[in-house]
Amino acid sequence: MAEILDGRKISKEIRGELKEKVEKLEALGITPTLVGILVGEDPGSASYIRLKEKGCEQVGICPVMLRLPQDTTEEKVLGEIQKLNEDPDMSGIFIQLPLPDHINETNVLNAVRPEKDVDGFHPLNVGRSWLGQEAFLPATPIGIYEMLTRSGYGVKGKEVVIVNVDSLVGKPLASILVKEGANVTFCQPSSPQIEDYTKRADILVVSVNSPKFITADMIKDGAVVIDFGFNYIDGKSLGDVDFDAVKEKAGAITPVPGGVGPMTVTMLLANTVKACEMAHG
Amino acid sequence: MAEILDGRKISKEIRGELKEKVEKLEALGITPTLVGILVGEDPGSASYIRLKEKGCEQVGICPVMLRLPQDTTEEKVLGEIQKLNEDPDMSGIFIQLPLPDHINETNVLNAVRPEKDVDGFHPLNVGRSWLGQEAFLPATPIGIYEMLTRSGYGVKGKEVVIVNVDSLVGKPLASILVKEGANVTFCQPSSPQIEDYTKRADILVVSVNSPKFITADMIKDGAVVIDFGFNYIDGKSLGDVDFDAVKEKAGAITPVPGGVGPMTVTMLLANTVKACEMAHG
C-alpha cells in the first residue's frame, strides 16, 4: 500500500514558510504584490483567479486583479503590462489564460518582464532554466519537485519517466530533474507501447488528461507515481491514474484531487515572494 | 556491418546548398557576413577560427575575425559586441571560447543580439527552442539532426538515448527530437549501470570524451550510433565508441574523425545564412 503524497498538507507547510518570509518583508516596509490580468468572462478563469486571490491573502501577498472586458484590444493589454512592468510596487505579474481569440497569446506572455514573470512562461526564463541559471519556472513542475523532495524522494540517479512533453509540465520538469542528476525520459503520450516506458520508472509523472490511462500493470513495484491529470467525469474529479489499483503496487502516489493540484497556486505564491525578494536585493 | 554515416559527404552536400542560397542573396546585393570574436592566443581557438574562415570562403560568406589581445577588458569586448549588434552588415556573431579568466563568459554570450546569435547560446534562443518557436540552435545538435534525417533515419516514435546532459549537445538535441516526436532519454554519463539505458536505444548519441566508453555489448542490434566524443590519444583522434566492434552490430554509425565533427562548422555557416535571410525579410 503506497504512501499517499498529500498535496494539501505540503502546500500548507510551504504557505506557512511563505507567510514568515512575507512578514520579514513587511517589517522592512515591503509588501509583495501579485497582479493578475484577466480578459473576458471565462468561468474557469474566474474561479482560478479567486483561488489565487485567496492564496495571496493567506500568506500576506497583496493581490491586484485587473479584470478587462472581453473586447479589450491586444494593444491595450500590452499597454497595461508595460505599466505594470515599470511599477516597482508590482512584484509579479501573471496572465490568466485562455485569452480571447483576437489576442495573440505569445505576444502577451512575452511582454511580461522576465524578472516579474512568476508563471515562468517567458522564453528568457525557459532558456535560463535549461542553462542552469537563476530563473522562474512554472508552478506545476516546481510543485511536483517540492512534493518529491519534501516527502524524502530524492531524484539523483533515479529513472524518471514523464508522460507529457508540453511547455507547462513535462519540459520544465525535465529541466529541473536533469539538473538535479536524474535520468529523465520524455515519453510521447501517443507512443503505442507506452508500458515499455512507464514500467521502467522509479518516478513516473503523468499528465495526459485521460482517466485510468495508467493501470497497475504499467508500473514498477514500489514506483513513485505523480498524477497531474485532470478529468471531470459525472461530477467527480479524476486523474490519469487508476488510483485504487495502482496504490496497491506503488511506493507512493498523489491522489486527485488533493495531490499536485493544491501545489500549483502555492508555487505561484512562492515565485511572487521570490520576485519581491530579488527586486529588493 | 553498419552503414557509415559520412559527415564529410553530408557536410559537402549542405555547403553546396548554402552556396546557392548565398548566390541568390548576392544577386540582391546582400553578402552574408559572419563575425568571430577571439580574445587572446589560445592555440586551439586559432585553429577553429581558421576552419570557420575557410568554411565561410567556400560558401561565399564574408568572414570577419576580430582578434583582441589577451588583456582586453570585459567592458571593451561588450562594447565591440554592441557595435556589431547595431551594424546591419553583420549577419551573425560568435564568440570563440574559451575566453580569458578575467572575462565573464555568460555576460559576453548574453550580450550578442539573439537575432545574430548563430551559436544559439543566448538564453532567449534556448527558451524559444524549447517552446517550439523559431530559434537559433547550437551547431552540433542541428548537425546531428541533419545527419540522421539526410541518411533516412527519421526520429518520430523512435527511442533516443543521449549520454550527455550539457547545454551544447544533449539539451538542445533533446529540444529538437522531442519536438519531432521522439521519446528521448537524458542519461547522466555518471550513471552506474549505463548499459541499461544505452541498450534500449534505437538511436544512441554519446558525448562523454572517454575512448571506448561504448562497447558492442552496450548497444541494441541495428541501433544508429552517433559519436560526438573527442579524444586525442598517441597522435590519433578517437571518439567515445569502440568503433571496430560496434560497427559489426550497429545499423549505422558515425566515424571519428569524419562523422559529426565536419558538420559543426557547416551548421554554423547554415545559421549565418539563415540569420542573413531573416534580417532581409
Whether A107 and A211 share a structural domain: no
- CATH number of the domain residue B244 falls in: 3.40.50.720
Sign of CA dihedral A134, A109, A138, A123: negative
Domain's final residue, options A95, A113, A131: A113
Q: Are residues A86 and A172 in the same domain?
A: no
- pLDDT at position A268, please? 98
- Indicate the number of domains in chain B: 2
Using alpha carbons, list the distances in angstroms from residue B165 to A119, A129, B48, B206, B268.
25, 13, 24, 10, 21
| Domain contains A187 | yes
Q: Which residues contact B233 (CB under 8 A, 6 or more apart)?
A: B211
Per-residue cell: A159: 529513472
What cell does A138 get? 512554472
Interface membership of B122 toward A (CB under 8 Å): yes
Nearest CA to B164 out of B99, B230, B76, B101 is that of B230
Q: Tens of pLDDT along B153-202?
A: 999 999 999 999 999 999 999 999 999 999 999 999 999 999 999 999 99
Instruction: For B22-37, write each residue's pLDDT tens digit.
Output: 999 999 999 999 999 9
CATH code of residue B52 = 3.40.50.10860
Average pLDDT over residues B89-96: 98
Evaluate whether residue B199 is within a structural domain: yes
pLDDT at position B250: 98
Same domain, yes or no: A97 and A145: no
User: Does residue A126 belong to any structural domain of this protein?
Assistant: no
> Is B256 found in the same domain as B206?
yes
Residue contact B130–A185, C-beta within 8 A? no
Q: Are residues A72 and A153 in the same domain?
A: no
pLDDT given for residue B281 in this prediction = 84
Q: For residue A185, give the nearest of B183, B191, B192 by CB distance.
A: B183
Note the pLDDT of residue A164.
Answer: 98
Tens digits of residue pLDDT in A89-108: 999 999 999 999 999 999 99
- The segments of chain A whose pLDDT lies below 70 read none
A-contacting residues of B 75-114, CB under 8 Å? Answer: 106
Q: Please indicate, yes or no, if residue A174 is contained in any of the structural domains.
A: yes
pLDDT at residue B275, as a whole number: 98
Q: Which domain holds residue B201?
A: 139-261
pLDDT in tens, A4-25: 999 999 999 999 999 999 999 9
**Residue A231 CA: distances (Å) to CA of A1, A207, A213, A234, B61:** 24, 10, 11, 10, 55
Same domain, A81 and A174: no
Domain assignment present for B99: yes
User: Is the confidence at residue B131, as pLDDT, over 90?
Assistant: yes
Band (B129; pLDDT cuts 50, 70, 90): very high
Please tell me whether residues B148 and B242 are part of one structural domain: yes
Cβ separation B183–A192 shorter than 8 A: no
| CA atoms of B54 and B51, how far apart (whole Å) | 5
Element (H, E) at B98: none
3-state SS, residue B77: helix
Q: What is the pLDDT of residue A281?
A: 84
Global ipTM: 0.95
Instruction: Give the pLDDT of residue B187.
Output: 98
Cis, peptide link before residue A63, omega less than 30° from 0: no
One domain, residues A80 and A190: no
Average pLDDT over residues B268-272: 98
Region B69-85: mean pLDDT is 98
Q: Within a domain: residue B63?
A: yes
Residues 6+ positions from A94 with CB-CB distance below 8 Å: A34, A35, A36, A37, A52, A112, A118, A119, A268
Is B17 inside any structural domain? Answer: no
- For residue B278, being part of any structural domain is answered with no
Among residues A116, A117, A119, A227, the one annotated as catalytic is A119
**Per-residue pLDDT tens over the stretch B193-212:** 999 999 999 999 999 999 99
- Are A132 and B182 within 8 A, CB to CB? no
Q: Give yes or no: residues A148 and A252 share one domain.
A: yes
Single residue among A76, A97, A113 that ends a domain in this structure: A113
Catalytic residues of B: 52, 96, 119
A240 and A144 in a single domain? The answer is yes
Count how many Cα atoms sit within 13 Å of the Cα of residue B225 in the half-sphere of its side chain.
35
Whether residue A183 and residue B178 make contact (CB cut-off 8 A), yes or no, is: no
Please tell me whether residues A109 and A149 are part of one structural domain.
no
* Residues B37, B150 within the same domain: no
Q: Is A199 on the interface with B (CB under 8 A)?
A: no
Q: Tell me the pLDDT of chain B averaged across its residues.
A: 97
